[in-house]
Structure 1
Amino acid sequence: MEKNTDRHMFLGGNTSEGFHSFFDYIISQNDATKIYCLKGGPGTGKSSLMKKVAFYFGSKGFNIEQFHCSSDDQSLDGILIKELKVALLDGTSPHSIDPKTPGAVDKIIDLAVALNEKEISQYKDEIISVNNVVSNLFKRAYKYFKAASIIYEDWASLNKIALDKNLLFKFKVSLKDMIFPDCRIAPLGKERHLFSTAFSPNGVVSFTETLTKNLDSIYILKGETGLCKSEILEDLANTAIGYGYNVEYYHNPILPKKISHIIIPDLNIGVFSENEIYKLNLTGTAFNLNNMCDTNKLSILKDEIDFNKYEFDTLLNKGLSLIAEAKLTHDTLEKYYVKNMNFDIVNSIYDDLIKEIESLG
């Protein structure tokens, strides 16, 4: 694929199952040259450091992937300098990443060395209290997302009643033939699991469009929930892996076991689905799966479907409001940390890190 220094994703998501992590998929231990694990509290400069490193190497023409934080989409959880196979990760809660291959692959960078622990210890009770409030807000948000997911699945089951299974089967075969006109024998491809959309303090945030810039072929599956879009995507992905192609899976933000999109980098092909959580602004070959449904059956079920739509939106928005409240509450922690940080030390860490990464190339 062509150079693209503006590729944005999420490594984790606030879902109906709680915080769901795909941090292991930033890059494998076998493939990585180095994985830097950043430690330190809120306001200690982890995200800012990663943004500076991303900008530095991006300005030199390297392909950079930026992984945003689902609990604060303006901050980063990680970056990957693809050509160098070097990753930086936020190793603090809720993902709490620790080295798997210390020294040989992984290295800890502790920004807390720049923290005045004597001064900040005065605020121990306040910090613990805020952390407890934030934790409870997230727990409540996850309950609302769980409730929304139950309604969402009931909504899906109603639409599925109207779906013509024969038309679905024929469509799956024709789409597979369209994407894979030729069979091939090769070692199995690799999987990579991520989110392109997440529930954040700013609502439903999606970076899906940034993933499509260098794709030669884009296919879009339109239609309501319950029309087997995830099943179609999994079938295509399994076929691609069987033919030896690597596949990027982008998971559903509310039901993380389901797939929203796939990209096959070796073929420069992406297959994206649109649903009630996010609408896509993409140009490509579109298929409206609603056309496979019996309109008479949908008409009979309309009141129940409309009820589910309303309840789903209500529950989802309540969960999102709690995530936003958690962010505002968490931000109060930064005032304790920022004023007790020596950022000259952090800048020195950045300078040393740049030199070290450059030496790896």
Structure 2
Amino acid sequence: MKGKEIHYFAGNHTAKGFYPFYASNFQSLNHVVRWKREEFTTDEDPLMKAAEEWRDKGFKLEMIHSSSNAKALDGLILPELKIGVYAGHHHARSFGRASERLITTPVEQNLKPKREVYKRQIKEAWHQAHSAFKTGLDIHDDLEMIYITNMNFAKADELTSDFIKHLEIPSISPAPSRLTKHRFLGSSTPEGVIDYIPNLTEDLQRRYFIKGRAGTGKSTFLRKVASEAEQNGHSVEIYHCGFDPESIDMVVVRDLGFCVFDSTAPHEYFPERKGDIVIDLYAETVAAGTDERFAEEIAELTTGYKSYMKKGIKHLEQAKYVSDEWADICGNTDSTEISQEINKDLKAHM
């Protein structure tokens, strides 16, 4: 039987630059293989090949996707064995592990000057993407103000308090070694916006879909749920917004079998099975008729911030194009040889 796998991002191109959460997810491992690759592979990612072998043997996998290339992984974790592979370039130089091994993909000496040219082009395209996302976020903040100024905060606090009581989160005493892990459930990538909500929530018995508008307190609601679970001794997965990483999009408490997530665009979902419940913050906390009274302004601001999101993705596409061009110059990486080397080291630390 193939092993269960979950998918997420741990580094993201956002309105606040490239935002890494890699260390948060590698914190509990006993051994990490650090694969320092010099370019993204355009065909078959060695880390994907390495993952297939472990999955076919029935091991659970955490597959950490790259926000710069949907065909590549930034990391692979085998939680049952407490071992993993990190291939996310320079964003996390060390995880403080007692046991780490570095694997490099060397570049021919005569190609190194050209490599620097390509690296600068890629970084510039990423910078332009972050700048576009930042402008989009500034416009989005103006959209939020419409709802913030028409919101009943006392009602929102009451609703949050009642919901936390409804969850009946038990206190674990004495508390085990709990972990809070920070991640992204989705990302803007060169291939468009991707999210892994169905995969991340498929084994949970209770799923709470938070509906609302910009600025209606969805992130605050989620932050309070996460805090309650943490204080009661539970391990928590906190999934941040790929647009604004200081905002939260989902909280998962796996030992209690529930998640609560922002179910609005660009990751809008609807109930489809028993245990799915909708909580509409707009209907419960915002003055009736707000959408209608500000319809024209809302439409203009929504169009504006979405246009900058699209511009940002175009810049990520450009970075991917340059990266692929560099990969072609370097020649095809032997994905089988590298994946075998990675797996050999992982097996030695089982």
- Flag whether TM exceeds 0.5 (same fold): yes
> Would the aligned equivalents of 2:183 and 2:240 in 1 still touch at CA under 8 Å?
yes
Partner of residue 34 from structure 1, selected from 11, 31, 51: 31
Alignment-derived partner of residue 7 in structure 2: 8
SS in structure 1 at match of 2:72: strand
Cα deviation per residue 1:199-228 (whole Å; 9 max; x = unaligned)? 100111111111011111111101111110
Alignment-derived partner of residue 93 in structure 2: 97
Q: How does 1:169-248 map to 2 (within 5 A)?
A: 169-180=157-168, 182-183=170-171, 185-187=173-175, 189-248=178-237
TM-score norm. by structure 1 comes to: 0.88
Cα distance in 1 between the residues matched to 2:14 and 2:269: 20
- AA aligned opposite 1:97: R
Deviation at 1:91, TM superposition (A): 4.6
Cα distance in 2 between the residues matched to 1:270 and 1:4: 22
- AA aligned opposite 2:197: T
Cα deviation per residue 1:55-106 (whole Å; 9 max; x = unaligned)? 111111100010100011221000001111111011524x2534634xx321
Alignment-derived partner of residue 57 in structure 1: 54
SS in structure 1 at match of 2:70: strand
Deviation at 1:334, TM superposition (A): 0.4
TM-score norm. by structure 2 comes to: 0.91
> Would the aligned equivalents of 1:218 and 1:269 in 2 still touch at CA under 8 Å?
yes
Deviation at 1:167, TM superposition (A): 2.6
Indicate the RMSD between aligned Cα atoms, in angstroms. 2.3
> Would the aligned equivalents of 2:235 and 2:253 in 1 still touch at CA under 8 Å?
yes
> Would the aligned equivalents of 1:46 and 1:90 in 2 still touch at CA under 8 Å?
no
> Would the aligned equivalents of 1:16 and 1:149 in 2 still touch at CA under 8 Å?
yes
Cα distance in 2 between the residues matched to 1:231 and 1:358: 42
Q: Do the aligned partners of residues 177 and 144 (structure 1) sit closer, same or farther apart at CA in structure 2, a change above 3 Å counting?
A: same
> Would the aligned equivalents of 1:209 and 1:281 in 2 still touch at CA under 8 Å?
no
Q: Do the aligned partners of residues 358 and 127 (structure 1) sit closer, same or farther apart at CA in structure 2, a change above 3 Å counting?
A: closer
Partner of residue 77 from structure 1, selected from 66, 74, 89: 74
- AA aligned opposite 1:100: G
Count matched residues.
344
Cα distance in 2 between the residues matched to 1:231 and 1:25: 21
Q: Do the aligned partners of residues 282 and 49 (structure 1) sit closer, same or farther apart at CA in structure 2, a change above 3 Å counting?
A: farther
Q: Which runs of 5+ in 2 are unaligned?
A: none
Partner of residue 322 from structure 2, selected from 326, 329, 353: 329
- Percent identical among aligned pairs is 22
Cα distance in 2 between the residues matched to 1:299 and 1:319: 30
Cα distance in 1 between the residues matched to 2:305 and 2:42: 37
Cα distance in 1 between the residues matched to 2:78 and 2:129: 33
